[in-house]
Amino acid sequence: MTIVESVVVAMLGLLAEPGRCESLTALTLPNTTMTSVRWVAEGPYTPPPVPVGRAAPDQTAAPPILPAHCRVTAVMKPSSDSHIGMELWLPQDWNGKFQMVGNGGWAGIISYPAMVRALLEGYATASTDAGHRQEGPSALGGSATFAIGHREKLIDLAYRSVHETAVQAKAIIASYYRSAARLSYWNGCSTGGRQGLILAQKYPDDFDAILAGAPANSWSEMHAWDLASSVPPTIDPAQRVPATKLALVRDTVLEACDAKDGVKDGLLNEPRACTFDIATLQCSGGDSESCLTAPQVMAIRRLRAPARTASGQLVFVGLNPGTETGWALRLNGQPLSVAVGSFQVAHDDANWDPRTFDLDRDLKIVNEKVGSLLNATNPDLSRFKARGGKLLLFHGWSDPLIPAGNTINYYDSVLAKMGQDQADWLRLFMVPGMGHCQGGEGPSQVNWMAALERWRESGRAPDRIDAARVAANRLEMTRPLCPYPQVADYIGVGSTNDAGSFVCKVKD
């Protein structure tokens, strides 16, 4: 930020006060009703009440101290069946920028934790519930029943809610600070990654830079693969695999493939190079905890394999070696509810039985009814590139929910469409050992937004991003993350837990 910009931002901060906050109630916006506008003094963050049946968040750590800010809640109704909730937090000490944060699963909630992080960095920050509210207990990803028979609500979820929130939030920001945000950022993972990509494809002027992690952008195909790979254990109990055996598979895979990247560290830098044959773990006699039965081998092979139609057409990629301990939800006899939801909507039937799933028949239906709206697979990002946008993609190699190969395939499709040299605005980072969006046994603590800011604001492209693994408040490892297809290569001297002992390079 230049000196002039710093002075301007400081002056704008003087305008951000309780009186100006309350004055927003008089602001009139298209299809938008302010439901609450209030000043929040500096103090400990108090999370909203947890709906009945939902698990309460971990409250063992001290709550963050939030800066003073104006908190705006609103409802947008761009269609007769729309009810899109949004929140916007406007800090008194504003950095002059806007950051909107994404959702997960079928959305239905305001992403408060991500808003907290953005506010602490001085951003004006917004989130939307994507047009509905998830209430009561739900399995992973939430319920899709809100969209059955409600195409407008499905459109809201697909793209309209994030676009409308961005537009109205920017208008409120301009009114409140008497100046528009000088830059707008998107920050999302999983469904939030899908939202980021559909914004780049459909509304390229909404954001100056987009962070899209583990994007669920091939929504309908991914859910078809989910059911193709996980429904059989629902029908055949012999194919269910207990968690202890999944740990056995993961440990055996690491033993066979870990050192292939030159460092034995419990991580697979390039899992696709691991060709370990799971059949070597098949029991030669009776079933035991130290081997797999033939049906269990079959179930694991199906999760690793891509789904294909009867004619051989690729539907979606399979899971990588090294992700096995995250497969319990898939092999316990119950298909993922988030995937079942797509087919409930496609068949207009909340009681649709996943045991009736047929890949060729149901893929066509779900692509037409759901994928035509939610999929964000268009590789032509020329309009986003032309307006100076930056797109930073990332995915954990050990993601057990969304196979990492999907993001690589989308990245490759953009290069195939737009040309191989797109590194001035598009980069992909693969993270060894990281699970879904975060966590895992690898170096998963990464300041993605800082890298994106430096790229967009200072022209410093992320040639490498150092990441860390911290356990029990102890730094255990640092490791560089490299722009794909480069990987972190050990130089042969120094600690393998030190990022300085690695260089980024393309390996043969």
Q: Which residues are catalytic?
A: 190, 399, 436
As a whole number of Å, the end-to-end CA separation of the chain is 41
Helix axis angle for 359-366 and 337-346, nearest 10°, is: 70
Number of H helices, E strands in the chain: 16, 17
CA gap 363, 371 in Å, rounded: 9
Rounded distance, CA 152 to CA 149, Å? 9
Q: Which of 113, 137, 131 is nearest to 55 (CA)?
A: 137
Are 415 and 385 within 8 A, CB to CB? no
Distance (Å) of CA 160 to CA 98, 151, 273, 472: 19, 12, 40, 42
Q: How far is CA 34 from CA 47, 75, 161, 186, 313, in A?
A: 21, 7, 16, 23, 49
Say if residues 329 and 338 touch (Cβ distance below 8 Å). no
Cα-to-chain-centroid distance, residue 378: 18
Token pair in block for residue 264? 């034995």
Chain centroid to Cα 308, Å, comes to 25
Beta-carbon contacts of 245 under 8 Å, excluding residues fewer than 6 positions away, are 289, 292, 296
- Strand, coil or helix: 162: helix
Distance CA(413)–CA(445), nearest Å, equals 28
Q: Determine contact, residues 316/307, Cβ cutoff 8 Å.
A: yes
Distances (CA, A) of 96 to 8, 114, 168: 9, 18, 17
- Tokens describing residue 382: 């020329």
DSSP three-state, residue 246: helix
**CA-to-CA distance for 224 and 320, rounded, in angstroms?**
18
- For residue 505, give the H/E element and its range: strand 502-505
